[in-house]
Amino acid sequence: MILYYGVKNLLAAWESWGCTGFEEFIQTLSEKVGGSINFWRKADASKRETRWFNLGGQLVPAPKLETLFAETARVLAPGGVTIHITVPHGYIREHPLNRFFPRFGAIDLERFPDETRLRQSLKTAGFSEISLEEASESPVPIDRAYLKRVENRFLSTFALMTETEFTAGVAALRDAVEYGKGDTGLRQTRRITLVFGRKPDRTAGRPGIQHET
C-alpha cells in the first residue's frame, strides 16, 4: 500500500533510482520493500503478455498522522509494506521561491511532518523496519516558463497565501526573470522523502499457515 501527498512524487523516485522503464522501477521498488510487490504473468490466446502486480496507491488528506497510520495498519495484511511520501524540511527551507514569497517555507513546514514525527507515528501504529529514503528530480530553471507555472498557482502552497502576498511574490519573481533576460539563474531540484514501514507478520512460522512468496 502506498499513501502519498502528491500524485507525481513517485516520478522523483523513478528518476533518482535511474530507472529506464516501468518494469525496472517496480522491480527496484520491490527490492526496497523486501520483495512484497510480486508479479505474475498471464497470456491471452494471442500470446500477448500482461503483467500484474499488487501495488495500491491512494492520495489522501492527512490532518492526523497517528490516525492515518493506525488505519493503515488495520487494513494492511500482515507482512505488508506501507510507503508514505512527503517533503523533507531541508528542501522546503532551501527552496528558491522563499526569496520571492516570504511565507513560502513557513506554510509548508507547518503542513509537512518532519522525519522524527513520521518515524514515531509509524512506530506507535505498530510498524517495524521503518526507514526513510530521499529521492530527487533533475534541476529545473527558474525562468519564464517557471514563472508561468507560478502565475497559474501550480503549487498548493499558493492557495494558502493571501492575494496580496501572492501578487507581490509574483511581481518580484517576474522582475528577477526580466532582469536575467528570461532566467533568474536559480535552479530548483525537487526532492521528496519516501517513508517505509512493514506491518509485522505475527503468524509467520505457525503450522498450517502458508504465505505467498
Q: What is the DSSP string of 177-193?
A: HHHTTSEEEEEE--EEE
Total domains present in the chain: 1
21: which DSSP letter?
S
Whether 63 is in a domain gets the answer yes
Whether 69 is in a domain gets the answer yes
Reported as a pLDDT band with limits 50, 70 and 90, residue 137 is confident
Q: Is the pLDDT of residue 201 over 60?
A: yes
pLDDT at 16: 58
Average of pLDDT values for 22-37?
A: 55
Whether 206 is in a domain gets the answer no
Whether 211 is in a domain gets the answer no
CATH value at residue 15: 3.40.50
- The mean pLDDT value of the chain amounts to 78
C-alpha grid cell, residue 122:
509509524
C-alpha 131, offset from chain centre = 14
Is pTM beyond 0.85 here? Answer: no
